Amino acid sequence: MTDSPLLIHDPDTLAPEVAALLPRLAHDDPVVRRIALLELADLEEPDALPAIAHALAHDASADVRREAARVLGAWEEAWIVDALCHALLDAEREVGTAAAHSLSVLKDTASGTVLLRWTDHADPFVLAAVLRALRELRHADALDPALRGLNHHDDTVRIEAVVLLGWLKDVRALAPLAHAARSDASAEIRRAAVGALGFASVADSAAPDALLHALADPVWQVREEAATTLGKLRARFTRDTLVAALADDFWQVRLRVARALGQIGDRAAALPVAALLTSAISNLRKEAALALGELREPATLDALRAALDDADPDVRKAVRIALQQIEEARS
């Protein structure tokens, strides 16, 4: 571990409360050491940080090291961020997991400078944790490491890279994300890439094309995510493909497709959506009614009125809202 700047203290220079607790960090009983560590953390004294960092790197007990990794997450000095990155390599995975969580809640963009030094690490666990930490920071220099991560052999690294790229919202990532959405061997990563494409614009043809391709993915969760993202893009030229997807084998996909068609707002999709009002699945009937309210197509009034006596009160409420929206649009 990189030593803190104040790793060895003269007790006379410390806050008295900190100095009083230090001997207990050397106690034979790990429970005593862990409690002392928690009391040090509660003091919120910067003087205590080197002792906590020393415990993170050197204590014989994994429980104590894990606790040190947890409490250090409240501080963002560069040397502490580096200490937490080193802790990702701890022999006990529970310690590394605690360090990864602390890194993931960093808020200071300056911490990204330290994290970036770890983005070429060979250990997939370390790399995934660092990419996850960079996500919240939206550090501009994280783009290149994230793009490299898309080609990593480890699924966990690739999915963290995909999600990070979605957060960065850099148009240079659109084509690589579209490729991952089409081609990654992992359905989880294809789904994440499909969701990450939500920041694209209609003019970025690679994204809608990849999303339309994903509507035919063999895994229904990917198709569901594709419909959701297409709705966000509001690309009218995707209407016919979405309408065809209203016949998907999975009702969860059909629900998201209906929602997407409502968001797109093309009235030509209204009658196919209205057909869902007779579905056996109440959630699907409700979503269809809500979509019809957005589409405001008078030709669906009869189907909506027929659904006013639906057995599900949520469906009836959605139908009433849709009828009101259509009538207001007509007047």
Residue 136 included in any domain:
no
Give pLDDT tens digits for 46-59: 889 999 999 999 99
Of 79, 105, 131, the position where a domain reaches its end is 105
The secondary structure of residue 150, as a DSSP letter, is T
Overall average pLDDT of the 314-323 stretch: 98
Residue 1 included in any domain:
yes
Domain that holds residue 285: 277-331
Which one, of 180, 174, 141, 138, lies nearest residue 157 by Cα? 180
Residue 179 included in any domain:
no
- CATH number for 300: 1.25.10.10
Of 105, 129, 159, the position where a domain reaches its end is 105
Of 50, 82, 105, the position where a domain reaches its end is 105
Residue 13 included in any domain:
yes
Position 27 confidence tier, pLDDT thresholds 50, 70, 90? very high
The secondary structure of residue 267, as a DSSP letter, is G
Give Rg (Cα) of the chain: 27
Provide the pLDDT for residue 9: 54
Report the number of distinct structural domains present in the chain.
Answer: 2
Give pLDDT tens digits for 114-149: 999 999 999 999 999 999 999 989 988 999 999 999
Residue 318 included in any domain:
yes
Residue 5 has pLDDT above 80, yes or no: no
Burial class (CB in 10 A: 0-12, 13-18, 19+), 325: middle
Burial class (CB in 10 A: 0-12, 13-18, 19+), 59: buried
Residue 144 included in any domain:
no
Residue 215 included in any domain:
no
Give pLDDT tens digits for 166-221: 999 999 999 999 999 999 999 999 999 999 999 998 788 789 999 999 999 999 99
Residue 30 included in any domain:
yes
